[in-house]
Amino acid sequence: MKPYNCIIIDDDEIDRLTVLSFVKKFPSLNILGVFESAEEAIPFIEKEKTDILFLDIDMPKLSGIDFRKSALEVPVCIFITAHPEHAVESFQIDTLDFIVKPLKLDRFTQTIKRIEEFMEIKLKASLFEASIGGDTIYIKEGHEQTKVKLHEILYLEALKDYTLVITDKKRHCVLSSIGNLLKENHFQSFIRIHRSFAVQKQFIQKINTSEIILNNNIAIPVGRSYKENLNLFS
């Protein structure tokens, strides 16, 4: 697999070098450039094909948020910042992950796995096709179509522009946001409990204020803004 081209932007030298040292540990990443300001990086990404941004937020003159808005053509953006209050705003501009400093290798490794999964899904370009009956959908995966019964889907998980369809046997991918998918008639039985998750009532084993436990002890977080939806399970 060809390495993914990435750039690092952070005005703090120690943080910049930390990210750089971590990136070098992963052969799936290729470092195109390291910058101490977003302004320096603008002409660079206009010339070089970039796959991943590792981006600080609080920087002088041009913030990481504003830089991302001008570089939405880059598929993956990872914010690494000391300011967790920017998390909600960052996810409104195609952010794949948000890491709060100080950066640790185990947390960074989780992010790389998420990047690799997302890029693999993007490459396959799995497409949601159509339903052929009230309880069945077909999902196109490569050149094949997989038949999935709606009553076997444990939950849906958002992954940027895609949605993972999770059964107890396999994870499928749909080229559709979870919001758009839940508008489909076939997914009316799903209840959204988090910005990234929707579940079906029949698989719920336990409900508390912070998470829902599904079959096989699968824990799904409950988002604060979705807690009212828990009433639909009563």
The residue with tokens 């958002």 is 158
Residue 144 in tokens: 């094949």
Helix (H, G, I), strand (E, B) or coil at 38: helix
Strands 4-9 and 29-35: parallel
216 φ/ψ sector (left φ>0, alpha ψ -120 to 50, else beta): left
Sequence spans of domains, the chain = 4-123, 126-233
Query: What's the pLDDT score for residue 91?
Result: 77
Kindly report, residue by residue over 43-55, the tens digit of the pLDDT. Answer: 998 888 999 999 9
- pLDDT > 70 in the chain, percent: 91
Average pLDDT on 91-120 reads 91
Average pLDDT on 208-212 reads 86
Class of the 4-123 domain? alpha beta
Kindly report, residue by residue over 165-175, the tens digit of the pLDDT. Answer: 999 888 888 88
Average pLDDT on 72-77 reads 90
Contacts of 186 (CB under 8 A, 6+ apart): 131, 134, 137, 150
Strands 76-81 and 52-55: parallel
The Cα–Cα gap between 124 and 144 comes to 11
Query: What's the pLDDT score for residue 98?
Result: 93
The Cα–Cα gap between 1 and 28 comes to 8
The torsion angles phi and psi of 70, rounded to 5 degrees, stand at -90, 0
Query: What's the pLDDT score for residue 126?
Result: 44
Identify which of 114, 83, 77 has the alpha carbon closest to the alpha carbon of residue 12: 83
**Number of residues in the chain:** 234
Same fold yes or no, 4-123 and 126-233: no
Cβ proximity of 19 and 9 under 8 Å:
no
Helix (H, G, I), strand (E, B) or coil at 116: helix
Residue 227: in which H helix or E strand, if any?
A: none
pLDDT band at 134; cut points 50, 70, 90: low
Range name among 13-22, 68-77, 113-122 with the lowest pLDDT average: 113-122
Q: What is the DSSP letter of 187?
A: G
Mean pLDDT of the chain: 86
Kindly report, residue by residue over 92-106, the tens digit of the pLDDT. Answer: 788 899 999 999 999
Average pLDDT on 196-205 reads 89
The Cα–Cα gap between 75 and 95 comes to 9
As to burial, measured by CB atoms within 10 angstroms (0-12 exposed, 13-18 middle, 19+ buried), residue 214 is: buried
What is the model's pTM? 0.57
Domain 126-233 belongs to what topology?
A: OB fold (Dihydrolipoamide Acetyltransferase, E2P) (2.40.50)
3-state helix vs strand vs coil in the chain, percent to 5: 35, 35, 30
Query: What's the pLDDT score for residue 129?
Result: 45
